[in-house]
Structure 1
Amino acid sequence: MSTKFSRVDREQPGRKQSVRRRTVSVVVTVVALLLTGCTPNVRWVSPTSGGASASASSSGPAIRPPVWKNCRTDATQILGGQVPSGMTYECGTIEVPQNWNQPDPAKTFHIALMRVRDQHQNRKVGSLVVNPGGPGGSGVELAAYLSAQLPNDILERFDIVGFDPRGVSRSDPVKCFSDADMDAYFGFDPDPQNQADFDAFVALNRKMAQSCQAKYGDTLSLFATEQAAHDLDGIRQALGEPKLTYLGFSYGTLLGATYAQLFPKNIRAFVLDGAVDPTQQAVDSAEGQAKGFSHAFDQFANWCKDNAGQCPAGPDAKATLAAALDKGRKAPPTAADGRKVTAGWVLLGVFEALYSQRLWPLLAEGLANVVKGDPKRIMQIADEYPQRDPSGHYANMIDVFNTVSCDDDASGETIDQARTLQSQWRTKYPVFGTSLAMGVVSCAVWPAKRDPFPTGKASGAPPIVVVGTVNDPATPYEQTAKLANMLGVGHVVTWEGEGHTAYPQTTCIRAAVDAYLITLAVPAEGLRCPAK
């Protein structure tokens, strides 16, 4: 489901801190550059014609391996100017059917890959394929980030392979929202008080959705998660791996769960961190986030109260937030680029900062300053959420998020439902409820055919590790056990910390996940890792 300010992926492991919308993570300004690789002349081959071997449980054509090319320069730019010594970075592409159910060699997508390898690698196990979430996050960039973050025990045994899923960034990107429409979207009041304002928000969402339909036509329905899961098995084939080892964060857990149901016998080891419950209806998911972000802001407010000297927002951060939102509604300050810093922009910055405890000091500064009429800090934080660059251009993360989320969503939300939830959640979740209720609008007006992902057992799969964070605002902790139970082979590991996703943040989490990835040793039943 699309929500106005929630995404299932913000705080990814591997991103360095900086100031940086939706259901389901590391905080840095991402340099959006094209990583080029070579596409083979032959797009794919039949499983018996001598190409990369296909598992007996695979479906569709076998995928040709990529032609790898050095892309250390690209990795250096992604990491802000410096990469770890002793690492090689290679990029390439594979070509996959647009529609795995009806493969047509004339209709394909190109999937961009980055492979990171420790030059001192020994005792190699295979490839570890990673996905950061989103939908809309770049796995190419995540592979670069993780090269500087993963434990040596992992880097010495695995090639780290990241991919941009279909439609994302370097993989035939979906781009149909104009920068002006995006500015208007985020600038809208998250709680439109009168019918005219509500109708204007609906009209903007409809305009944005229709622009996607006009540009992509029937192809718009082919970005659903189930198609991407087939791509993931194509990557396994292209890498020559008989079984897939996978690390997925946030929405990446949904992608992984879908794969596990489609290709259970092709799994070696799966770690799903920041679990999304595939059985949950979209409205229930949005309400879970409203509750989660409310709790996260309470934790932030408690931190301000207990650390007044470090918190410019003062001992009553809730009052400061109320004043900042009021300022945005009644006398919005002007950003350096001329944008009016409305309540919508202020709340966007709050959503972004609550994904990581490391951003709390910046959030405190931003809220305090905007009350005084200085919006610079809060806008730095807010612009990181949808990846808006200094020129005012947006990356395609939100285009992808809406496209995939709505392609997946068959729960049938309506405009009237959004209006009703807005009223109900305004009282129940005073700060975040209305914004998340308004998110119902995006998929209510989505024109493409829906293709919901499966929600069953991963029968025949080996044990899958599902990691949950107790105080995760974006993918609430209770979804962890639900995903594990749905799959039937899930084993829960709990981190009693703050923020979105856990690995590789503490020694306890690292030890459990690393041992599983390397030796397939399943973590102890009921393992709970302390916050620090």
Structure 2
Amino acid sequence: MTARHRLTATGGAVLALALTLAGCTSSGEGEGEGETAAAGSTTEAPAEPEAQLIDWTDCDSEIDPIIAGRPGSERDLTFSCGTTTVPVSYDDPEGGTLQLFLVRASLNGQTYPIGSLFVNPGGPGQSAADAAIQAALTLPEAIVNQFDIVGLDPRGSGLSTPVECISDEQKDELFAADPRVIDAAAQDALFSEIEEVAAGCSDEYQEALGAFNTVDAARDMDLVRQSLGDDQLNYLGYSYGTTLGSTYAELFPEQVRAMVLDGAVDPNATEQEAAEAQAQGFEAAYDAFAANCLSLISGCPLGPDPRAFLGELLTQAAAAPIPSSREGETRQATPGLILGGVRSALYQPSAWPQLAQSLAAARNGDAAGILTLADTYTGRNDDGTYSNVVDANLAVNCADTDEEFSASDVQALAADWNARYPLFGADAALSLYTCSAWEAPRTPLPERDAAGSPPILVIGTQGDPVTPVSGAVDLAEELENGVLLTWQGSGHTAYPKTECVTAAVNAYLIDLAVPQDGLTCPA
């Protein structure tokens, strides 16, 4: 089962921390109320409920052991964990509350502090609290020296009243399924599984399932900004985080101080156009991986034709799933899990060596490496449980759109795209049925020109397989004061991977020095 943005990972390589932070969460009456209150907000002028106090707890003792030994852990950081409440529905602010969770990382002895920098890693569904911890370690010291790094888990994600309605067993089954199926019987079975998942989530949350949407998450962010005491918002969003950020800018243009949108999701693309662009992007990324592998002095472990190698491996796994040497692992690698591992590694060129070795090992009968990559992508833990990233990904994606596709339309697209994008095409087409089966109120994303905002920096990467650079071009054009920066590199998102991009972003965030629109940074 897939979603529109396919569990997009952060450009900052989020830690995948399991933040079971003792003492950092509280049960709060709002958590229970959120399951039954009515949802479904409009995109008109937002309501103005009062910002609530944040209940802060010192959580150094929980986070320090997790980050010990990691690059950047020598920084003199203080971590605080907090909870606050927001309305379930901004159309009915008195109708119940949701509890939100956030992490704030502060460098002791900051010089000329500016305020908070909100970070969001994307998804939707990824934990911004995890991202803030990682960002405090890896963002340039000039940024951490002048901003507190804040990660607010969006409603339904991480520890912010997480939406949880898909069982671990269902996730195992869906991710193991062959995503390239084009025969009608197999597709009908997949559609039935998707409908079962959708019905289960609807039964669990009723109308409140629609509360997990981007428009209301943006409104939440403004309340938390006020609670932190910041006059305006500083924001760094990756991938889906560009959708959340641009939605905030549309609703609250005058409250933006600085906003960086890296790896932009195209605001103008239809669901079908976005799905096809991503299939095409991942096909191109696999070809780039293959070319890199063939250029290795030591030789490519996949032989002279890495694409043919992968095709043969998928055929092998379809006939006899491949076992794993990983201790305690009972699963075997199916075509679905292999392609999940491939997709995971294609996000960043730094993972390409691991991908090559993992595919070669799988061909020799050991799928441990490729399963590890797949689990990184889906949020599966070593004990077989999953984070709620999949649940949140579907809930938010489907709440954000009112587009629907019939089964017959999806089947026709799957056949067409399978021929044109043989690794990822059918899967991308079948993903379009997911939200058609979803049973929840919808709050479609507004058009986003953010009229009245200050300059907003939009970054695109030429070789981005997840959010093609055309999305950044379109978003920068859509925004009244959008400024486009293009990196001629590869992988998902750009900051702070290269000196040119880093210098431009740092100057913008710190001094509001806006780079020239259309600036291109070399790979």
Same structural fold, with TM-score higher than 0.5 when normalized by the shorter chain:
yes
Q: Does 1:484 align with 2:476?
A: yes
- 8 Å CA contact 2:154–2:217 kept in 1: the answer is yes
Counterpart of 2:463 in structure 1 is 471
Counterpart of 2:400 in structure 1 is 408
- 8 Å CA contact 1:133–1:252 kept in 2: the answer is yes
Amino acid at match of 2:58: N
Gap change, CA 1:261 and 1:4, over 3 Å in 2? closer
Q: Calculate the TM-score normalised by the size of structure 2.
A: 0.93
Equivalent residue of 1:272, what SS? strand
Q: Of the candidates 400, 424, 441, which is equivalent to residue 449 of structure 1?
A: 441
Q: Does 1:84 align with 2:74?
A: yes
**1-side partners of 2:434 and 2:28: how far apart?**
39
- 8 Å CA contact 2:4–2:271 kept in 1: the answer is no
Counterpart of 2:40 in structure 1 is none
Counterpart of 2:238 in structure 1 is 249
Give how far 1:198 is off: 1.1
Q: Of the candidates 258, 272, 278, which is equivalent to residue 269 of structure 1?
A: 258
**1-side partners of 2:469 and 2:303: how far apart?**
29
Give how far 1:524 is off: 1.6
Structure 1 vs Structure 2: percent identity of aligned residues? Answer: 40
Cα distance per residue 1:203-233 (max 9 Å; x no partner) = 1111111111111000001111101010011
Give how far 1:172 is off: 0.7
Counterpart of 1:63 in structure 2 is 51
Equivalent residue of 2:466, what SS? coil
Counterpart of 2:333 in structure 1 is 341
Counterpart of 1:462 in structure 2 is 454
**2-side partners of 1:310 and 1:162: how far apart?**
42
Amino acid at match of 2:491: G
- 8 Å CA contact 1:39–1:95 kept in 2: the answer is no
Equivalence map 1:491-530=2 (5 Å)? 491-530=483-522
Q: Of the candidates 187, 195, 200, which is equivalent to residue 189 of structure 2?
A: 200
Q: Does 1:101 align with 2:80?
A: no
Gap change, CA 1:432 and 1:308, over 3 Å in 2? farther
- 8 Å CA contact 2:78–2:106 kept in 1: the answer is yes
Counterpart of 2:135 in structure 1 is 146
Gap change, CA 1:484 and 1:161, over 3 Å in 2? same
**1-side partners of 2:426 and 2:252: how far apart?**
39
Amino acid at match of 2:79: Y
Equivalent residue of 1:275, what SS? coil
Gap change, CA 1:524 and 1:361, over 3 Å in 2? same
**1-side partners of 2:379 and 2:145: how far apart?**
33
**2-side partners of 1:494 and 1:429: how far apart?**
26
Q: Does 1:12 align with 2:2?
A: no
Give structure 2 stretches of 5+ with no counterpart: 31-44
Cα distance per residue 1:353-393 (max 9 Å; x no partner) = 00010110111111112122211111111111111011110
**1-side partners of 2:461 and 2:433: how far apart?**
29
Cα distance per residue 1:210-268 (max 9 Å; x no partner) = 11111100000111110101001111111111111111110000001111111101111
- 8 Å CA contact 2:418–2:426 kept in 1: the answer is yes
Gap change, CA 1:499 and 1:217, over 3 Å in 2? same
Equivalence map 1:273-284=2 (5 Å)? 273-284=262-273
**1-side partners of 2:433 and 2:230: how far apart?**
42
Q: Does 1:381 align with 2:373?
A: yes
Amino acid at match of 2:486: T
- 8 Å CA contact 1:32–1:395 kept in 2: the answer is no
- 8 Å CA contact 1:209–1:447 kept in 2: the answer is yes
Counterpart of 1:31 in structure 2 is 18
Greater shift, 325-334 or 418-427, is seen at 325-334
Greater shift, 255-264 or 405-414, is seen at 405-414
Equivalent residue of 2:157, what SS? coil
- 8 Å CA contact 2:60–2:78 kept in 1: the answer is yes
Equivalent residue of 1:385, what SS? helix
Amino acid at match of 2:405: E
**1-side partners of 2:18 and 2:7: how far apart?**
21
- 8 Å CA contact 1:6–1:436 kept in 2: the answer is no
Gap change, CA 1:185 and 1:247, over 3 Å in 2? same
Gap change, CA 1:234 and 1:304, over 3 Å in 2? same
Counterpart of 1:216 in structure 2 is 205
- 8 Å CA contact 1:422–1:434 kept in 2: the answer is yes
- 8 Å CA contact 2:4–2:397 kept in 1: the answer is no
Give how far 1:3 is off: 3.0
Amino acid at match of 2:60: R
Counterpart of 2:216 in structure 1 is 227
Cα distance per residue 1:39-63 (max 9 Å; x no partner) = 79999xxxxxxxxxxxxx9732121
**2-side partners of 1:215 and 1:78: how far apart?**
33
Cα distance per residue 1:411-470 (max 9 Å; x no partner) = 122222211111000111111101111111211111112110101321110000001111
Counterpart of 2:34 in structure 1 is none
Cα distance per residue 1:103-131 (max 9 Å; x no partner) = 12x51111111111110201111111111
Equivalence map 1:45-60=2 (5 Å)? 59-60=47-48
Equivalence map 1:101-140=2 (5 Å)? 101-104=91-94, 107-140=96-129
Amino acid at match of 1:480: A
Give how far 1:76 is off: 2.7
Greater shift, 195-204 or 336-345, is seen at 336-345
Counterpart of 2:63 in structure 1 is 75
Q: Calculate the TM-score normalised by the size of structure 1.
A: 0.91
Q: Does 1:292 align with 2:259?
A: no
Equivalence map 1:328-367=2 (5 Å)? 328-335=317-324, 337-367=329-359
Gap change, CA 1:41 and 1:309, over 3 Å in 2? closer
**2-side partners of 1:298 and 1:6: how far apart?**
21
**1-side partners of 2:243 and 2:170: how far apart?**
29
Give how far 1:315 is off: 3.0
Counterpart of 1:22 in structure 2 is none
Give how far 1:507 is off: 1.0
Give how far 1:195 is off: 2.1
Amino acid at match of 2:428: L
Amino acid at match of 2:203: A
- 8 Å CA contact 2:246–2:448 kept in 1: the answer is no
Gap change, CA 1:412 and 1:107, over 3 Å in 2? same
Give how far 1:67 is off: 2.7
Counterpart of 1:323 in structure 2 is 312
- 8 Å CA contact 1:97–1:107 kept in 2: the answer is yes
Give structure 1 stretches of 5+ with no counterpart: 16-25, 44-56
Counterpart of 1:20 in structure 2 is none
Amino acid at match of 2:347: Y
**2-side partners of 1:396 and 1:80: how far apart?**
25
Amino acid at match of 2:195: R
- 8 Å CA contact 1:131–1:252 kept in 2: the answer is yes
- Give the aligned length: 504
